[in-house]
Structure 1
Amino acid sequence: MENMTLEQVTLADLDALRAISIETFTDTFGSYNTPEDLAVYLETSYDPAKLKEEIQTEDSYFYFVKDATSGEVLAYLKLNLNDAQTEAFEEASLEIERIYVRPAFKRRGIGQFLMTHAIETAKSMGLTHIWLGVWEHNENAQKFYAKNGFQRRGEHVFMVGDDRQVDYILMKDISA
């Protein structure tokens, strides 16, 4: 997709970040969860105070993809380094915690644009690996990550309300 800008999210963007988080998570996972579990997850994970803390966390970085003409937010990316990562690995690594593309803008190359940015960021920092968690039933995302050279390294539990779900841990060696 052409005509996009990438901008780091600030506290002034908190409401927009919360809105796109709820929209994209609900679109992708809403039909696979009970309304009660989904509501609990959205309320706790995207609580304004929690998002504010995440934005202010050292070594966590949020980026919006915006339409360069209209300024409309199309997607966002969250990256974590060092102690901000949700898992610890021996490798010098960067975590992609979220690539969230709004439903109306999927399949336009935005996910690849964000993936490229994440990989370039990790390489510029001298890191050797990039990793992420992906839900075991999110086959479209798994195909996208496999196309980008990620391989399964393990798994962990991801809670949506009271529902224990499995995320696969995928990793890519970027040292070459």
Structure 2
Amino acid sequence: MSPLDAAASIRPARASDCSSLAALSIEVWLSTYIREGVNAFFADYVLAHYTADQFSKALKDPSEKLLVWQSSNGIAGYIRVSHNLPCPCEHPSKTEITTLYVQPRHHGKGIGQKLLNAGLSLCQELGWDTPWLATNSENEPALRFYAKHGFAIIGQTHFEIEDQRYCNEVLIPAR
């Protein structure tokens, strides 16, 4: 495991982070889900959904909380937790970890675990439900990560882009 940047910290996202969050999101999304080359269908989705403006709106929404991993060189990861989003499975939680992204070059350094723990702590501090999350059923690294950190699969849902549906596993902390 590579050492973490001694100057790195987790902090709430701020307006000046929006373009960095958009760029990081595009990098992670494309590197995770696009394996055979980028086509217009996925490019249009990513460029429409991961924008500085979308992050700016999220930061102004009291039901959205974003924490970033700030290193000495910039943001290397973030977690986004959203309140009032009911779990699609038979579970009472209305809080979702909507995004946990770490730049691929920083995987395996403990950043994801620290962000996950910070997000779970934030939910507890705010009095929000213990969160659920969904991840693509074919995203084995993410499924292993969440299992390693005490999450269990409780069902399935689908992520939709226009008329396309992609199976996702729904997970909750098992502890």
Which TM-score applies when normalising by structure 1?
A: 0.84
Structure 1 unpaired stretches of 5+: none
Indicate the residue corresponding to 1:8 in structure 2. Answer: 12
Partner AA of 1:153 in structure 2: I
- 1:121-151 Cα distance to aligned partner (Å, 9 max, x none): 2333445532100100001110111111211
Amino acid at match of 1:36: A
2:29 to 17, 25, 28: 25
- CA RMSD between the two structures: 2.3
Aligned residues between the structures: 170
| In structure 1, C-alpha distance between the alignment counterparts of 2:86 and 2:36, rounded to whole Å | 23
SS for the counterpart of 2:138 is: coil
Does 2:75 correspond to 1:73?
A: yes
Q: Determine the structure 2 residue equivalent to 1:50.
A: 54
Is the partner of 1:129 in helix, strand or coil?
A: coil
Q: Aligned residues: percent identity?
A: 23
CA offsets 1:53-95 (integer angstroms, 9 cap, x no match): 222222201111011xx242111110112x2x26467535532
> Secondary structure at 1:58's aligned position in 2?
coil
Q: TM-score normalised to the size of structure 2?
A: 0.84
Q: 1:126 to 1:60 in 2, by over 3 A?
A: closer
Q: Is the CA contact (8 Å cut-off) linking 2:26 and 2:47 kept in structure 1?
A: no
In the alignment, the residues of structure 2 paired with residue 128 and residue 61 of structure 1 have an alpha-carbon distance, to the nearest angstrom, of 14
Q: Give the corresponding residue for 2:145.
A: 144
Contact 1:131 1:171 in 2 (8 A): yes
CA separation in 2, counterparts of 1:164 and 1:131?
A: 20
